[in-house]
Amino acid sequence: MANPPWWTPERLADRRPALVTRGRIKKAVMAHLESQGFTEVECAALAISPGNEAHLAAFATEAIGLDGVHHPLYLHTSPEFACKKLLAGGEKRIFDFARVFRNREGGPLHAFEFTMLEWYRAGEPYAAVMDDCLDLVWLGAETSGIGQYSYRDRVCLPHLPAERLTVAEAFSRHAGIDLLASLTAEGEGDRDTLAASAGAAGFEVAVSDTWADIFSKVIVTIEPKLGVPAPTLLYEYPRCEAALARATAHDPRVSERFELYVCGVELANGFGELTDPIEQRARFETEMAEKQRLYGARYPLDEDFLAALAQMPEASGVALGFDRLVMLATGARCLSDVLWTPAP
């Protein structure tokens, strides 16, 4: 029997405690960030480009001028490009509770429209936003009054010291694969080397699989093991898996990219931001070529963003799925239970 609509009195009554807690967590997060010297910004949802990552799927629309001319636009998948333009303009610490839109999403942890909390620190290392993430994990639990996060059969204690694990260490520990051996000196993937290692470790590898396909097959088996029994910061992703992050100073094969996991759920994705517009353009072109190969489509580049990047200071930034944090903090079963009005 199908569930009644979300607006029925009985469904709303069931969900209302979590929704009220959502508001309390949002206020606590805003107060915390403002106490750290952050300014709240509000980025426009309409964008020239929705983002240039191969697997990102956006909602397309158009603006019609008074002259009747149609101009293609997209609902943004992240406020990232706009926030970085603000950094180029001189902002130092900013955050945005952004309503964002992603197509081709589904399941208990996804929604077509959701809230992404993004924040940036100009002139500060990405270790600083890693620490911010852990502060918010603790704050979510403290505000909701839970002693631990839980999802399915996994438990995470937010007060425990976080596990800090490189992606290469995770591949070695959880899959028995030497990931770094499959990367060139510039951080590009060697498909045959990774295919051989993954096959020997018991993964099924198709002839048509690219290096990125094989990487994805492995990492999805690792993710459920992360964030248990403490939050996990998974960092130093291969450069070819981090289109918007700069390379680490100690190893050009890997990047200043990290993800935060709690109970096997990815909560946040952050970077030491790439600020070289030439390299950024090349990475976007590579991503769009892969999107064309996989989906027969590509998104335009935001030339204004690339121009701003040339003036942007070094910075670190992170995007956190606020709805997921609330879901875990309230013990809700799925994302739609913590959205006041779930999208159709």
Q: For the segment 290-340, what is each residue's pLDDT rounded down to a tens digit?
A: 999 999 999 999 999 999 999 999 999 999 999 999 999 999 999 999 999
* DSSP string over 296-320: S------HHHHHHHTTPPPEEEEEE
Residue 74 lies in a domain: yes
Give the CATH number, domain containing residue 322.
Answer: 3.30.930.10
Q: Round to whole Å and give the CA distance between 182 and 196.
A: 10
Name which of 54, 82, 91 is nearest 313 in CA terms. Answer: 91
Residue 317 lies in a domain: yes
What DSSP designation does 167 have? H
Total number of domains constituting the chain: 1
Q: Round to whole Å and give the CA distance between 287 and 235.
A: 21
Beta bridge partners of 278: none
Residue 3 lies in a domain: no
Q: For position 159, what pLDDT does the model report? A: 93
Q: For position 344, what pLDDT does the model report? A: 83
> Residue 231 contacts by C-beta under 8 Å, 6 or more apart in sequence?
133, 134, 137, 156, 158, 160, 162, 163, 260, 261, 262
What is the residue type of 235? Answer: Y
**Beta-strand runs (E) in the chain:** 39-40, 46-47, 59-64, 70-75, 93-101, 113-122, 149-151, 154-156, 163-166, 232-235, 257-262, 265-272, 315-321
Handedness of CA 250, 170, 57, 40 (dihedral sign): negative
Q: Round to whole Å and give the CA distance between 161 and 319.
A: 21
Q: Round to whole Å and give the CA distance between 193 and 280.
A: 27
For the stretch 231-283, pLDDT in tens is 999 999 999 999 999 999 999 999 999 999 999 999 999 999 999 999 999 99
Q: What percent of the chain has pLDDT over 90?
A: 97
Residue 109 lies in a domain: yes
Q: For position 323, what pLDDT does the model report? A: 98
Q: For position 3, what pLDDT does the model report? A: 81
Q: For position 1, what pLDDT does the model report? A: 63
User: 189-196 contacts: CB < 8 A, separation 24 or more?
Assistant: 189/215, 189/238, 189/240
Rg from Cα positions in the chain: 20
Q: For position 330, what pLDDT does the model report? A: 97
Beta bridge partners of 262: 265
Residue 205 lies in a domain: yes
Range of the domain at 317: 9-338
For the stretch 69-103, pLDDT in tens is 999 999 999 999 999 999 999 999 999 999 999 99
Can you tell me the mean pLDDT for 52-61?
A: 96
Residue 72 lies in a domain: yes
Residue 2 lies in a domain: no
What DSSP designation does 255 have? B
185, two tokens: 């000196």
223, two tokens: 């993710």
Q: In this structure, what are the phi and psi dihedrals at residue 194, rounded to the nearest 5 degrees?
A: -70, -35
Structure confidence at residue 2 as a pLDDT band (50, 70, 90): confident
Residue 147 lies in a domain: yes
For the stretch 185-238, pLDDT in tens is 999 999 999 999 999 999 999 999 999 999 999 999 999 999 999 999 999 999
Where is 45: in which H helix or E strand? Answer: none
Mean pLDDT of the chain: 96
Structure confidence at residue 343 as a pLDDT band (50, 70, 90): confident
Q: Round to whole Å and give the CA distance between 163 and 160.
A: 9
